[in-house]
Homo-oligomer: A and B are copies of this chain.
């Protein structure tokens, strides 16, 4: 339907895919301004909204930033593990977690439409010091 809208989305996605770390909307804006100095925030936010909507990008609620989805797609909420040290973000499917959450919601009559599951901490690489003190 929208072929023209996808151009901007592709640019934004490309920038995100060049990074293991999450980027803020303004990081993306800065990157894309190198080739198009007149870009304004709403354009970026619109692209991000579309990409998030259709699962190509995840928003990290705890950091107000964005990462490209790793691609192995199942239309299912992922657990996002975010390293406080190096910023790397890993994405994991966790059917068990989602199951538990569904049960929990059912118990109280809550009808969930969106889940946010994030872990902050240290990734394996950063947690294992190469030269311990």
Binding site for B on A (CB under 8 A): 61-62, 79, 81, 83-84, 90, 92, 94, 96-97, 100-101, 104-105, 108-124, 127-128
- Once the chains bind, are B94 and A110 in contact (CB under 8 Å)? no
- Enumerate 29 A-B pairs (CB-CB under 8 Å) in ascending A order: A61-B61, A61-B62, A61-B116, A61-B118, A79-B101, A79-B104, A81-B105, A84-B113, A92-B104, A94-B101, A96-B100, A97-B104, A108-B123, A109-B123, A109-B124, A110-B119, A110-B122, A110-B123, A110-B127, A111-B121, A113-B121, A114-B119, A115-B117, A115-B118, A115-B119, A116-B116, A116-B117, A116-B118, A117-B118
Give the top 4 A-B pairs by smallest Cβ distance, nearest first.
A109-B124, A112-B121, A61-B61, A116-B118
| Contacting residues, chain B, for A122 (C-beta < 8 A) | 110-111, 113
Q: Measured between C-beta atoms, what is the minimum distance from A89 to chain B in Å?
A: 11
Task: Specify the chain B residue showing the minimal Cβ separation from A60.
Answer: B61
Contacts of A120 in B (CB 8 A): 112-116
**B contact residues around A115 at 8 Å (CB):** 117-120
Nearest residue in B to A107 (C-beta to C-beta)? Answer: B92
A97 partner residues in chain B, CB cutoff 8 A: 97, 100-101, 104
CB distance from A126 to the nearest CB of B (A): 8
